[in-house]
Amino acid sequence: MFGKVPSWQWALAVFALPSLRGCRHPAAGASAAASASAERARSAPPVDHGELDTKAPDDAPKLAATVIAATVYKLPDTGSRRLGYVRLGGTVKRDPAPVPGRGCKGEFYHVYPMGYMCTDDATTKLDTPIVRAASRHADLTKPLPYKYAFVRANAPQYLRVPSRAEQEKSEFKLDEHLAWFAEHRAEVQTVVLGANDTPLDARGIAVPGTKPPPGFKPSTELSENELLGGTGPDDPIPFWLKDGRQIPNVSGFDVPGSSVFADRVRRKTGLSLVGAFDTESEGLERRFAVTVDLRLIPATKLKPDTGSAFHGIELGDKLPMPFAWVVPSDAKTYEIVKGSEDVRAVEDLPRRVIVPLSGKARIAGGERLYQTSKNPTVWLKAKDLDVVAPPPEWPEVAEKGEKWIDICITQQTLVLYQGKKPYYATLVSTGRDKLGDPKETLSTPRGSFKLQSKHVAAAMDSEENSSVSGGARSHPSAHVESTKATVERLKRARASGEDLDEEDKRRLINIDKGRDPEYGITVRRGSAGFELRDVPWIQYFASGYALHGAYWHDVFGVPRSHGCVNLAPIDARVVFRWTDPPVPEGWHGINVGSEMGEGTAVIIRE
């Protein structure tokens, strides 16, 4: 597939490498001082999380959330600071007796490790129907904490199992839809190995090649029912749906109790699922998937998705900086023709292979080239690489030996540091307008930030805005304006014969078809976008901007977001677990602050 590829190109042996600094274009012949400094950097002592490290008694009773997000308050007062929240059905340990408080019709309980919850949104009765119905929680051991699927065709979100007549009334041209699905079922339900299929160590770092645990079934061997959230191939109807709906509607979309469904879900929406089961009504056999907010979606309207299996790499002696990921699928190695400035292609390079670099660069054949560290005669084109190198200057947090995250927009890389010692590196997708003004374009803001909040998973819209973000962005028409700019830029590039990467080639295909260059759909000013539910491992560092996992694409290393920093699910979980402060056991999200501890620093540079 890739031609003859010499083993030196990606052998992760020990190399004596000088380090490249900066992230736009590493300088030729850079000093080895950065690597030596990183090796000498002291490791910071363990972080003291104060009250967050408070342990509950082993026999402490629990409190369970009965709404989608039950707030944890700093004080027994609904007007006090919100420390975080517990998701529907989630449980936290509490003190046995309630305490006096304000703003709560029920009772306040002190919960662990800190804060107070009100029984208006929670219950001490763990066997209540709503808590039992919501017993499937986010699986924190996996990169994708839920099963995910995309909506293929607009669909009602049923509150109870609908009859055949109700389905025919609620779904446009149902017979035609079912006939199409019967013919294309195998194609629609086929998945590939994804994020949850890669073996991980105790820290969540991928260890490819190791044997999976006993009983593990890869995504490609799961039944359709299991791909949509079921526990097996033929799950029964849940207890709370027998003889109608036995629990309240908690979706947030209020409808009369007699309603068959609560709102519709649009095509292209990403859904998180916690169950699936088969039904039959008057000869109509159909499967339904259960969303996290306990609504039902017809399985024929869904396409399961397993997310990207891509992941970064732990850093250390075996892979010192500088090194690079090969980004396009058509990259090659080159040699410089002796006695000239011409270059000759030698070998094909696989996409996303890691290549150690020597630190030397030169111009030949009209392009910038980087030398590989193992073989000095082999060179790679800079445009084919995303290079991982130390920053041009160490920030204050590095000098103090603290944890921090280094994100380079021009190279589309992220590195986790403890002081000056790199721990983990990966590829990301930042704002697709690269180095533009975030107020006017779809670009990621640059500067020094601190994490503001952390969420195991939360909904975002198609422009990556979320109700948990602390504020939406201030350019609602930026997508439309940015689309126009992208069209003009790509058309000029094609007319001039400029080399385009895979992502831009795909965008040009959409442009030629009269579609939005990013999504392949027509964009109309003022039209509503779609939803991405339970985007995993969200960490906001500024109002409306976050680091988060992306289960809907696999072009990491190429700018494409609306301003957030997209990570592959495996990497997003590694980063989430590594940063401070930690999310307490049982909680689904926290607001970082004086009570919860200071957030890890995020440095975003050109």
**pLDDT value for 82:** 96
Q: What are phi and psi of 151, to 5 degrees?
A: -80, 125
482: nearest Cα among 520, 517, 445: 517
What mean pLDDT do residues 63-76 have?
97
84: nearest Cα among 107, 115, 53: 115
Lowest mean pLDDT among 223-227, 321-325, 452-456, 463-467: 463-467
**Between 37 and 238, residue with greater pLDDT:** 238
CA dist 354 and 319 (Å) reads: 10
pLDDT at 9 over 90: no
What mean pLDDT do residues 24-52 have?
48
CA dist 278 and 155 (Å) reads: 17
Domain ranges for the chain, please list them. 7-31+323-388, 50-133, 147-305, 396-477+525-605
* Size of the chain in residues: 606
CATH number of 396-477+525-605: 2.40.440.10
Residue 130's beta-bridge partner residues?
none
CA dist 576 and 573 (Å) reads: 5
Segment holding 37, helix H or strand E: helix 33-40
**pLDDT value for 450:** 97
What mean pLDDT do residues 201-213 have?
90
pLDDT at 1 over 50: no
Collapsed DSSP state (helix, strand, coil) of residue 547:
strand
Q: Is 87 exposed, middle or buried (0-12, 13-18, 19+ CB in 10 A)?
A: buried
**pLDDT value for 481:** 41
pLDDT tier at 487, thresholds 50, 70, 90? confident
**pLDDT value for 589:** 97
Lowest mean pLDDT among 95-109, 569-583, 587-601: 587-601
What mean pLDDT do residues 253-262 have?
94
Q: Is 567 exposed, middle or buried (0-12, 13-18, 19+ CB in 10 A)?
A: buried
Question: What percentage of residues in the chain have a pLDDT greater than 90?
Answer: 73
* 377-411 residue pLDDT tens: 999 999 999 999 999 999 999 999 999 999 999 99
Asked whether 49 and 580 are in contact (CB, 8 A), the reply is yes
**pLDDT value for 463:** 63
Instruction: Give residues with Cβ within 8 angstroms of 358, minimum separation 6.
Output: 17, 18, 370, 371, 372, 373, 376
Instruction: Give residues with Cβ within 8 angstroms of 235, minimum separation 6.
Output: 225, 275, 276, 277, 278
**Between 418 and 24, residue with greater pLDDT:** 418
Quick one: the chain helix, strand, coil %, rounded to 5?
Answer: 15, 30, 55
Fold of domain 50-133: SH3 type barrels. (2.30.30)
Lowest mean pLDDT among 26-35, 171-180, 289-298, 553-562: 26-35
**Predicted TM-score (pTM) of this structure:** 0.85
Q: Do domains 50-133 and 396-477+525-605 have the same CATH topology?
A: no
pLDDT at 258 over 70: yes
